[in-house]
Amino acid sequence: MNLPARLLLVVGIFVLAAGYWLTDFDAHFAFFGDGRWKPTRVADAVNGKVLFAAGGCISCHTTPGSEDRVHLGGGKPLKTPFGTFYPPNISSDPQDGIGRWTETQFIRAVRDGTGPDGKPYYPAFPYTSYRHMSPDDAADLFSYILTLPPVSEKPRAHELAFPFSIRRGVVLWQLAFLEGTVIEPAGNQSESWNRGRYLVEGIGHCAECHSPRNIAGAIIDEKRFSGGPNLEGKGIVPNLTPDKTGLATWSEADIANLLKDGFTPDFDSVGGSMAEVVRNTAELNDTDRMAMAIYLKSLPPISGQIRSK
């Protein structure tokens, strides 16, 4: 074998080895350690209940057809261009749910999108927003979920076409698009604005539905909150920025009221998945709903599609 061929072989082996390491589930955990997922205090289930409502956990993880809103057996289908995802059982059941998880495993899952087995979660699970939560709040959420009834059910496996069915490739997606960290208060903003930002950008994950995405399924940053495709059918999800195609004519009170009762300023009522969102935000207090409204009205206006009536 001549020298150029040997060099090519060495480079090829190096590229394959680097690619294998980059997509290895547990190598990253071993490399970085678990310091990023350590809470600083004892978990508070009362705060966890607030976060549970703000995060809309019920909307995806309650078993379809169940009359019990905290029957967290999972399985509500989420249809996307990549296939259909079925959310997992997140009840306190030790076999089918998360009852045997440790606090660190839960924090790692919701903030970094990595399961206890080291496998990455598909970003249909909005950890790209949840990673803005503090480890303390993630621990609070976990402590509250463990107080809810166990559900012995296994939801269906995802139905994804090749190559999206190759879970190892999700690590490459995370390396390319998973960014950001805990949202810290801005000193030049009010307490309400900071609270609203934390809820909207983090646990509330509003951008996940209300933003357009690129070909890889990642949010397009410069169009964040300007509306997105309606995965439930035709049309788009509304623009949340104060643009004329969005919430320009809405007051902060209008937004806060919709999050409480589901009615627009024109006395129309929301439907579809937004109706379920309102069922969750209605459980928040008035202060938190107003904080979310204050933050949304402060966003830079971004032009989006005008929704058809």
Q: What is the pLDDT of residues 142-180, one digit of tens each?
A: 999 999 999 999 988 999 988 888 888 888 888 888 888
Q: Is 304 inside any structural domain?
A: no
Per-residue tokens: 57:
């956990």
Q: Is 309 inside any structural domain?
A: no
Q: Are 132 and 180 in contact (CB under 8 A)?
A: yes
Rounded to whole angstroms, the Cα distance separating 298 from 293 reads 9
pLDDT class of 252 with cuts at 50, 70, 90 = very high
Q: Are 223 and 211 in contact (CB under 8 A)?
A: yes
List, in sequence order, every residue forming a beta bridge with 274; answer none if it has no partner: none
Helix and strand counts by DSSP (H, E) for the chain: 12, 5
122 and 203 in a single domain? The answer is: no
pLDDT class of 34 with cuts at 50, 70, 90 = low
169 and 240 in a single domain? The answer is: no
Mean pLDDT of 201-221: 93
Mean pLDDT of 232-248: 87
Which pLDDT belongs to residue 16? 41
Which pLDDT belongs to residue 81? 87
Which pLDDT belongs to residue 38? 80
44 and 172 in a single domain? The answer is: yes
Q: Are 71 and 58 in contact (CB under 8 A)?
A: no
Torsion of the alpha carbons at 92, 93, 98 and 100, rounded to the nearest 10: 100
Main-chain dihedrals φ then ψ at residue 304, nearest 5 degrees: -135, -175
Q: What is the mean pLDDT of the chain?
A: 86
Rounded to whole angstroms, the Cα distance separating 35 from 299 reads 33
Q: Is 78 inside any structural domain?
A: yes
pLDDT class of 72 with cuts at 50, 70, 90 = very high
166 and 200 in a single domain? The answer is: no
**Res. 215: pLDDT tops 70:** yes
Which pLDDT belongs to residue 192? 97
Q: Are 195 and 177 in contact (CB under 8 A)?
A: no
Which pLDDT belongs to residue 307? 60
Question: Which range marks the domain in which residue 32 is found?
Answer: 3-177
15 and 134 in a single domain? The answer is: yes
Which pLDDT belongs to residue 235? 74
Main-chain dihedrals φ then ψ at residue 160, nearest 5 degrees: -120, 145
Q: Is 201 inside any structural domain?
A: yes
Weakest-pLDDT range from 93-97, 211-215, 226-230, 256-260: 226-230
| Domain boundary residue, one of 125, 147, 177 | 177
Model confidence pLDDT, tens digit, residues 98-127: 999 999 999 999 999 999 988 899 999 999
Q: Is 46 inside any structural domain?
A: yes
| Domain boundary residue, one of 121, 144, 177 | 177
Q: How many CA atoms lie within 13 A of 141 on its CB side?
A: 27
Main-chain dihedrals φ then ψ at residue 214, nearest 5 degrees: -85, -175
144 and 78 in a single domain? The answer is: yes
33 and 63 in a single domain? The answer is: yes
pTM for this entry: 0.87
155 and 123 in a single domain? The answer is: yes
Which pLDDT belongs to residue 234? 67
Mean pLDDT of 237-261: 95
Q: Is 44 inside any structural domain?
A: yes
**Res. 11: pLDDT tops 70:** no
121 and 238 in a single domain? The answer is: no
128 and 210 in a single domain? The answer is: no
Q: Exposed, middle or buried: residue 141 (CB in 10 Å: 0-12, 13-18, 19+)?
A: buried
Rounded to whole angstroms, the Cα distance separating 207 from 198 reads 12
Overall number of domains in the chain? 2
Rounded to whole angstroms, the Cα distance separating 295 from 186 reads 12
Which pLDDT belongs to residue 125? 94
244 and 112 in a single domain? The answer is: no
Q: Exposed, middle or buried: residue 117 (CB in 10 Å: 0-12, 13-18, 19+)?
A: exposed
Q: What are the residue ranges of helices labelled H in the chain?
A: 3-22, 25-32, 45-54, 57-61, 103-112, 127-130, 135-145, 169-177, 191-198, 252-261, 272-281, 286-298
Q: Is 290 inside any structural domain?
A: yes
Q: Tokens 């439907």 belong to which residue? A: 271
41 and 157 in a single domain? The answer is: yes
Q: What share of the chain is helix, strand, coil (3-state, %, to 5)?
A: 45, 5, 50
Q: Is 190 inside any structural domain?
A: no
**Res. 36: pLDDT tops 70:** no
| Domain boundary residue, one of 125, 142, 177 | 177
